[in-house]
Structure 1
Amino acid sequence: MKYFLIALASAVIASQALLAAETPASDPYQGIAQYVFGGSRADITAIEAEIRKTPVEQYPAIEQRLLNVLKDPAATVDGRRFVCRLLGMVGSAKSVPALAELLSHEQLAHPARMALEPMADPSAGAALRAAMPKLKGKLLAGVITSLGMRRDNEAVPAIARAALDGDPAVADAAIRALGFIGTVEAARELGTLAGRVPEGLQRFVAQAQVICAGRLLEAGRTADAAAIYKALYVPQQSAAIRLAAFQGLVATSQGADALKLVVDSLQSGDAHMRAATLAAVAGGTKELKTTLVAQLPSLADEAQLAIIPVLADQTDVSVRQSLLRIISASRNAAVRSAALEGLITQGEAGDVPMLINMASDEKSADAAAARKVLERMSRSGVDEALIALVQKESGTSVATGIAVLAARRTSAALPVFAKLARSADARVAVEAIKALEVMGGDADLPALAELIVTTADAAVRDAAEAAASAICSRATDRAACSGAMLAALRKAGTTAARSALLRVLPRVRDEASLLAVKAAAADKEADVRDAAIRALADWPELSAAPHLVELARTADQRYAVLALRGYLRLAAAAKNLPAGDRVGMYRTALELAQRPEEKKQALAGLADVPSVEALGVLRKYAADAALAQDAMNAIVRLSKNVGIINSRQVLAVLNEIKAMTPPQEVMTQIDAAIRELEKGSQADGYIIGWLLAGPYMQEGKDGAALFDVAFDPEKPAAAAKAAWQPIAAAKIGSGAYAVELNKTPMAGSNRVAYFRTTLTSPTAQDAVLHIGSDDGVKVWLNGQVVHSNNATRAMSPGQDKVKVRLRQGENTLLVKLTQGGGEWALCVRICSPDGRPLDNVSVGVQE
């Protein structure tokens, strides 16, 4: 169950507790008049809801009621503040006088001007202008800011005077406001101020001039804007202002003037200016871009390198012809590469032959760049042009075209690939087969198998083998793969063909293919026999294991080693095989191994099998002088996987090998493992070590319905049939220990799992189980149900407290955990009746 249910439950409880406090008054307008910050907002919410559902033409009634509150001397300051905000939504010229009166109010000036600022009625601007002579300090600065946001040109003279105010906050607000107003008059005043304000405000004037020029440009006053940009583009200004001015100059210049600005900047050594230039070009007019495109081939190399990527990305101009001229004429490889890359977006289908020729020329410095362009060209018709080219051309250009089509994943080319795979030109055939390796499907397998059988060209055969292997690896129809490969194998007349087909069969992975490989392992032809044995050793599924064992027993040493290594690889990969069966595989390998290398490989593999049986095998080889250190290292590794579950057996083995006086490095690891295990399978009372069985499901039943369905682990007569695997609880954020099954391969919805462990008590005693579960939980102690809670909830440690009686000695604890969806977790802590961890109880599950 989702953890957010906790928060949801808390919210419900809180909302019930506060329900009365959040109920609006019978008249919310009277209620808002008494509002104090931190109190209920129910009246404010009620008025906001009324505004949302009221047509605009009916706003005057709401406005009047709000004005009544605003003018009420008994209304709170907090209430009137909210009224101002609401008047900003519904207010009209009628509200202006009341709001204007508040512009000098220390606490209400801000909300009042925020209500006036967006009002379209001219009276709002007039009220703000009229207030200026009466205000000073932050109140005056606020009114000036609002006039700037309104772009009130009538206020320009008064704002200009305020820009010389001795209060820096007022002066700063005035300068910025002139910039936002952005009229010719505001620009004139800013120009005058530039030489009059203190040095500390000069940069604010320059910033305001940039903004003002932008407003003028938007209004079509290009000449006025250009004059400002020109005045700012001087060394005395900061780099940021000069960059902005330069971009403005580019935007306001035309033809040759704009081109000169751009080219001079691109060819300068100023990286910041170059970046500003590129941004100006990208955002510039179509006329500017067209002029630049025309001059592009004649620009210096450095300028071309900078501008080509920008122009190539523009959709409103065509750069193609200029790029083609640069590609054919430039002596600079980097410039040609940039121009080629520009064709990714600007190139057309007609450019394909030229690019194919370049990409096919192994001596050309531009071959790789041309190939990249072909693979990524985005215009329509490119795929069709490539397909047409590979069908009518010959030689290297065809091979290149095929490779490009494969890289582009052009599915329409598949029939062409199949046809060209039979080409007499080996280069073409190999490239077509490589394309099928990437894109081909089951339908291409018969032809590939036929090629393997019939071709006399080793390169073609190798390519066909690789393609068939790739297709069979990803195919879902194993029968189609098997049919094609085995039919070809039956009629193959050469050793090379038979060997190639045998190497494909491990990718097919079906029983018929496995039997064919096994039969070929006894072939009279040595090369065929070699290919078959290697294919068997490479087989990816456990079905090959018996055949590999047979080979390891009967073949000569070279192939016996190969077979045994294949067998060990299967054992290591068989993670889902029951632990006992995996241990059996490693036992067999140890019995068959003649060399220490394979024996050591088997011992290392046993360390990854979470089983006490594996521990026993390793203990046996710890007494073998030639393998002792490898066996001991494996025991230490295994102890970390199974020690928490089988601590007694593991501790006993660790102490035994410690007594054998191993090398110091191994001794240090053994001591560390012993110390870790002696802490036990519990921490602060939390049970860490468990055996886990499941998941168990039943068609048509959700997690809650499965709570009362008895599966094998809870049936005494069937419990032995359950497959148990060790699992350990991990520390979670709260400091508790929990098993989070949603983070394991068992994760899913509508299922149950069972946990089992053994509690060993030195005496009969009372205890309390503190249980947290997501979702439902049922608990048995020594076969008796002691707790049952079919809950749907998020897990929290200690949600349920269960009183139990432990008997002296071993006590079996069984827990059933249901799962609806989402998180799935269990947390169990064993405590004394007074709530303290029960430290004298040990936890040590035995398999």
Structure 2
Amino acid sequence: MNYSIKKALFVWFLVFGWFGCTYLQAQPLDQAQIDTKLAAIAGYQQGTSRAPLIAVEDMIRQTQDQPEPRRIIRAKLSQMLDQEITPDCRAFICRQLWYLGAEDALPSLARMLQDEKTVDIACYALGNDPAPQINTILRETMPQVQGKTLVAIVNLLGNRRDSDSAQAIRQLVSHADKNIAEAALAALGKIGGDTARQMLVEMRAKGDPELAAAATHAYLRYAQGLADEGQAQPAAKIYEELAGPGEPGHIRGAALHGLAGIDEVRAVSLALAALQEPDPVLNRVAIGCIRKTGKAEVIQLVARELPKQETPLQVLLIGTLADMGNPAALPVITTSAQSKNEEVKIAALRALAAVGNASSVKLLTGSAVGGESQLEKDTAGYSLKTIRGDGVDEAIIRQMKDAKNENRPVLIQILAERSARGAVPALLEQAALADEKVSRSAFQALARLAGEQDLPAMVKIITSLSSEEARKDAEQAIIQTARQIADEQRQADVVLTALSQTKPVPVQCSLLRVLGGIANRQALERLQTAAEDKEPALQDTAVRALANWPNTQAAGALMKIIQNTPNETHRTLAFRGYIRLLSLPEERPVEETLNLYAQALAQARQTSEKQLVLSGLANVNHPQALQMVQSYLEDMEVQQEAALATLKIAQELKAANPKEVQAALEKLLANTNDQKLTQPAREILIEVIEPVAIFDGQTFTGWEGNQELFRIAEGAIVAGTLDKDTARNEFLCTEKEYADFELHLQVRLLGDPAHANAGIQFRSRRVPNNNEVSGYQADMGQQYWGCLYDEARRNTILAQADAAELEKVLHRDDWNDYVIRALGSRIQLWINGQMTIDYTEPDEKMEQTGIIGLQIHAGPPSQVWYRNINIKEIPKVK
């Protein structure tokens, strides 16, 4: 389908789909549908399905533009209030009437207003309807009710700001019920007017403490009402009264907040006074009032008052002015930054980071280099690093130039941290100075700020430096700058030119080190030449630079040094550098890497050199690398490194090259008994050794025992029957003995779970002239599944399995996978993949070799099956 057809279909879908949806939504509801949906909610109770309620809500939404159906719904909902419906249904209807309007339900709601159980939901239904008759109903109901019901009605009259009820509500202020009296005061605060004001003022002055507090809250609400009506001055007067001392902190805070919306200057003036008091709530509001203003006259007010305050408050106000970030605060902050009070000074120095500009730099630099305390220096330095604005960098540069030599490094570092690239010309001047500290600081800054165009000047300066330490910083700066040149082949050009024109050996050495840092092809060629120079210092510098080369391009040069140099120090440096290069990530064939390592091994004369090569080879995951390292397992001088490398490579190759790994690890075990090496080697061997079947599924070849009791069926060894008892313990045993191994087999135990029992013997012996076998047993049956038992020897459970966890994976009356691993003194058991035992034998006298035996335990009728019996023999340690 081509694009134009797709586009046409899409437009068709949008247009006709939209009309279709509109058509469906516009379908008017008939009365039967309305009746059906409303009838379904009559019995609704909270906790049951809300589907009927949702259907009614959807119906109301669908009729938003359908006046007649909506009128019918409203009328029918109103009628339902007088019917037998559940309280939860009644509450739902009232919530819908809040949205639809309550005019049809006024008689019903009027009756509900008189019932304590329904007054709240009735008030809710009436609350959003502006009809004047509702106020009349509420006023008429007031004399007929008491308690909670009266409180609800008074609250609603207050919310509706019904001035006609003010006189009646005023009478309730003296009611004996405190809840009613407090509700009346709150309502008067919302209604407003002179009657309300007089009563609120009177109750604040004469009422008992609880009513006075309620009157104060109402008075605050009264002021808000005046402000909302545009009567700013009367409102401000009340706010100012409530913001004064003697009022609770939260009231004062709210009043300050209200006053700030009318008269910022007066609010801030009161806020400053409030900050003198130890009320955290009030203080937060006061600071908020100051912080949100933006008027310069308010800032000036704070500035005038700030020096008069105690130290903690000055610090707080300075921080507030900083948060505001208004430049109008700069003069007072600047003055405070010169205060003799350290706390005030520190706060102001910190604030200059936010409100300061170029004019603040001189003051800040004075503190940064000459502050009385380290805190002052650090704070001023921080502000210098973060202050923003035109001309700031230039101002710092001027201050740096004018500063004494001992103070310049601080300002140079600040310029570097500001990333002030415009400072580079001035920094080049400082870098050329004879003062070592200044020069070093300048070069450290240039390493961050200089560009390609500055490289010739930097190289020229380094050739004239007398300080060795300064040259080191210059070298790093030049390296960093040269690396910015996009064309790698050009990065060393300026340095090479300077080197060809320079004669002092120390300077040549510096430039050679720079070439080592640039590390391109041209630098490499020049360093190779220098490595053969007759001047010892140049030769030494070149060799060290090559030894630290960042890629294998220098491998050939280093190998040449290894093969030819008579200087043992240089040979060692080159050898270490060569091995380090081989370990770097490079996109080269592994065969090439192996060849490079082979060359290194051929040149390795000292033990330390062999150790280096073997450690490097450990990171080459290739069979040839494994072959190379294992050839050193018999060399006692490097055996440790060879073994570690063998283990590391084996771990990586065990899946792809199991035979090679097995051979290497068997050689390792034959040459060392270091448990830190042999233990991981044997664990890897367990993974790579091919299992050998010790039961062929058809004959008892390799086994001996009672072949009348033990039989072969369905490819399994079977013992016992389900129709008669087993007279005594019997064992079918291997003719061969096994020492360290991992045995895998499948077992099935049938019979009464309370009595059936069997087990797998290992590292065991037949008891002479007896049917018993003594040794370790991996137990089966009853509560002993997965346990390690010592059969006919110590006759005890050596390690108990977690029965509850094992029960989650055990298949009773069915096949289970059993794994037994015995390595030295450590024995581990698994059933169906879950480890049940990890036991280390503490008795060194216990045998670590012996036969494997399959047991049927004496007792009631039972039957045990063993099949798929395979073993991995692990070589013993040397």
Determine the structure 2 residue equivalent to 1:557.
568
Determine the structure 2 residue equivalent to 1:571.
582
2:268–2:298 Cα contact (<8 Å) kept: no
Determine the structure 2 residue equivalent to 1:481.
491
Shift of 1:281: 4.1
Choose which of 210, 224, 228 in structure 1 pairs with 2:238.
224
2:75–2:104 Cα contact (<8 Å) kept: no
Determine the structure 2 residue equivalent to 1:70.
77
Cα shift readout 1:406-431 (whole Å, capped 9, x = no counterpart): 32223444455456655677766554
1:547 and 2:554 aligned: no
Greater CA deviation, 392-401 or 243-252? 243-252
Cα shift readout 1:668-701 (whole Å, capped 9, x = no counterpart): 4445555677899xxxxxxxxxxxxxxxxxxxxx
Task: Kindly tell me the number of residue pairs found equivalent between the two proteins.
Answer: 648
The 5-angstrom pairing of residues 463-612 of structure 1 reads 463-555=473-565, 556-574=567-585, 579-612=590-623
2:243–2:253 Cα contact (<8 Å) kept: no
Distance 1:445 1:177, change over 3 A: farther
Shift of 1:629: 2.9
Shift of 1:514: 1.8
Whole-Å Cα distance in 2 between the matches of residues 586 and 110 of structure 1?
89
The 5-angstrom pairing of residues 60-99 of structure 1 reads 63-71=70-78, 73=80, 91=100, 97=106
Shift of 1:560: 2.2
Shift of 1:95: 6.6
Shift of 1:444: 2.0
Distance 1:232 1:532, change over 3 A: same
Whole-Å Cα distance in 2 between the matches of residues 575 and 114 of structure 1?
77
Shift of 1:441: 2.1
AA matched with 2:363 = M
Determine the structure 2 residue equivalent to 1:282.
291
Whole-Å Cα distance in 2 between the matches of residues 648 and 69 of structure 1?
88
Greater CA deviation, 453-462 or 441-450? 453-462
1:334 and 2:343 aligned: yes
The 5-angstrom pairing of residues 665-676 of structure 1 reads 665-671=676-682, 673=684
The 5-angstrom pairing of residues 629-778 of structure 1 reads 629-647=640-658, 649-651=660-662, 653-671=664-682, 673=684
Whole-Å Cα distance in 2 between the matches of residues 124 and 432 of structure 1?
83
Determine the structure 2 residue equivalent to 1:440.
450
SS at match of 1:313: helix
Distance 1:624 1:26, change over 3 A: farther
Choose which of 354, 357, 368 in structure 2 pairs with 1:348.
357
AA matched with 1:439 = L
AA matched with 2:561 = L
Whole-Å Cα distance in 2 between the matches of residues 136 and 579 of structure 1?
95
Shift of 1:63: 4.7
Cα shift readout 1:24-65 (whole Å, capped 9, x = no counterpart): 8954573654676543967855764774xx6xxxx8567535
Determine the structure 2 residue equivalent to 1:816.
none
1:369 and 2:376 aligned: no
Greater CA deviation, 479-488 or 92-101? 92-101
1:261 and 2:270 aligned: no
1:308 and 2:318 aligned: yes
Shift of 1:605: 3.9
Distance 1:632 1:257, change over 3 A: same
SS at match of 1:304: helix
Distance 1:647 1:280, change over 3 A: farther
Distance 1:511 1:227, change over 3 A: same
Whole-Å Cα distance in 2 between the matches of residues 324 and 342 of structure 1?
9
Percent of aligned pairs sharing the same letter: 26
Whole-Å Cα distance in 2 between the matches of residues 370 and 577 of structure 1?
53
The 5-angstrom pairing of residues 102-113 of structure 1 reads none
SS at match of 2:491: helix
1:442–1:477 Cα contact (<8 Å) kept: no
Choose which of 273, 289, 305 in structure 2 pairs with 1:295.
305
Q: What TM-score comes out, normalization by structure 2 length?
A: 0.60
Cα shift readout 1:202-234 (whole Å, capped 9, x = no counterpart): 998887777777777877423433444558646
Whole-Å Cα distance in 2 between the matches of residues 631 and 181 of structure 1?
94
Distance 1:285 1:543, change over 3 A: closer
Distance 1:71 1:96, change over 3 A: closer
Whole-Å Cα distance in 2 between the matches of residues 577 and 450 of structure 1?
39
Cα shift readout 1:574-622 (whole Å, capped 9, x = no counterpart): 1755555545544444444444445444444444444444433343333
SS at match of 1:264: coil
Shift of 1:111: 7.4
Shift of 1:540: 1.4
Compute the RMSD of aligned alpha carbons: 5.3
Greater CA deviation, 278-287 or 403-412? 278-287
Shift of 1:438: 0.9
Distance 1:114 1:657, change over 3 A: farther
Whole-Å Cα distance in 2 between the matches of residues 173 and 156 of structure 1?
12
Cα shift readout 1:113-162 (whole Å, capped 9, x = no counterpart): 55654455656666666666778898877766666665666667777888
Unaligned runs of 5+ in 2: 1-20, 42-48, 692-744, 746-867, 872-878
1:259–1:291 Cα contact (<8 Å) kept: no
Unaligned runs of 5+ in 1: 1-19, 681-761, 763-838, 843-847
Distance 1:326 1:658, change over 3 A: same
Distance 1:174 1:495, change over 3 A: farther
Distance 1:319 1:447, change over 3 A: same
Whole-Å Cα distance in 1 between the matches of residues 622 and 163 of structure 2?
86
Distance 1:425 1:285, change over 3 A: closer
Whole-Å Cα distance in 1 between the matches of residues 185 and 591 of structure 2?
83
Distance 1:271 1:92, change over 3 A: closer
Shift of 1:304: 2.6
1:296–1:304 Cα contact (<8 Å) kept: yes
2:421–2:450 Cα contact (<8 Å) kept: no
SS at match of 1:319: helix
Determine the structure 2 residue equivalent to 1:684.
none
Q: What TM-score comes out, normalization by structure 1 length?
A: 0.62
Shift of 1:289: 5.1
Instruction: Compare relative contact order (CA 8 Å, sep 6+) and give the higher one, 1 or 2.
Output: 1
Determine the structure 2 residue equivalent to 1:753.
none
Shift of 1:478: 1.8
Distance 1:461 1:241, change over 3 A: same
Distance 1:657 1:299, change over 3 A: same
Determine the structure 1 residue equivalent to 2:725.
none
Shift of 1:440: 2.0
